[in-house]
Structure 1
Amino acid sequence: KSLKRDVRCINLKELEELALKMAAKTKRGEKIFIDLEELGYTKLLGEGKITLPAKVKVQSCTEAALKKIREAGGEILTAAEEVEEATAG
């Protein structure tokens, strides 16, 4: 058996489209929350740009994606960070 997992990637330009759709359902001033794992994606790539501040949950992301999300005022939640936050508190 292979230990390789299926990796489903999404680019920032596609994430921006999702964020725009979700912005209509989000209260003004709130960060948009996008759970990419729930949508079947495992990795966020840095191609494209995002303009809306979003809180994104995903298993992994590239440095470029992380940088662009933060520049837009958003944040990334990965499984590793959730574990760190849980053990830190």
Structure 2
Amino acid sequence: MIRKRKKITKMRGSRTVGGGSSKKRRGAGHRGGRGQAGGHKHHWTWIVKYDPEHFGKRGFKRPRKLLKDPKTINLGEIQEKLPELIKEGIAKKEKNIIILDVTSIGYEKVLGRGKITEPLHLKAHEFSTKAEKKIEEAGGKTETI
């Protein structure tokens, strides 16, 4: 319904201007506090109905010492770096196999991306299953430290 006159002009002269008792319009007393006030007391039924997960905790966080984030290197990268590593003396060539300790170049885990063309004997903390398979197919060995 469209009004011709605003409600306030209609209410001019009345003491409370449509707000009930004059005490009810003051502060936040009539609505039981501002915001989330009374959530544990007089507004408890509202919390239960409309925001049941407001209180309490859910789940847990794993301790930081149990979270692993190993530094990884792919087989393809190892293959590219091999000539330099042999020159520097980090990798050693014995008979027809190249021995390399991956931890000496700052890595902990070997992943299986890329190709290797020569047999390698790699030492690391961890190997992915794909990496182990590729190394053994090329005639090499894996050793977990």
**TM > 0.5:** yes
Share of identical aligned residues, percent?
A: 37
Partner of 1:87: none
Matched residue type, 2:144: T
Alpha-carbon separation, structure 2, partners of 1:63 and 1:41? 17
Using a 3 Å threshold, how does the CA distance of structure 1 residues 55 and 28 change in structure 2: closer, same or farther?
closer
Matched residue type, 2:98: I
Deviates more, 1:12-21 or 1:45-54: 12-21
Tell me the secondary structure at the aligned position of residue 50 of structure 1: coil
Of 48, 65, 73, 1:10 maps to: 73
Q: CA RMSD in A?
A: 2.1
Quick check: 1:58 aligned with 2:124? yes
Deviation at 1:58, TM superposition (A): 0.5
Tell me the secondary structure at the aligned position of residue 16 of structure 1: helix
Q: Which runs of 5+ in 1 are unaligned?
A: 80-89
**2:93–2:99 CA contact under 8 A, matched in 1:** no
| TM-score, normalised with respect to structure 2 | 0.48
Q: Comparing both structures, which one devotes a greater share of its residues to strand?
A: 1
| TM-score, normalised with respect to structure 1 | 0.74
**How many residue pairs get matched?**
79
Q: Which runs of 5+ in 2 are unaligned?
A: 1-62
Matched residue type, 2:102: L
Alpha-carbon separation, structure 1, partners of 2:128 and 2:100? 17
Q: Comparing both structures, which one devotes a greater share of its residues to helix?
A: 1
Q: Which has the larger radius of gyration?
A: 2
Matched residue type, 2:112: G
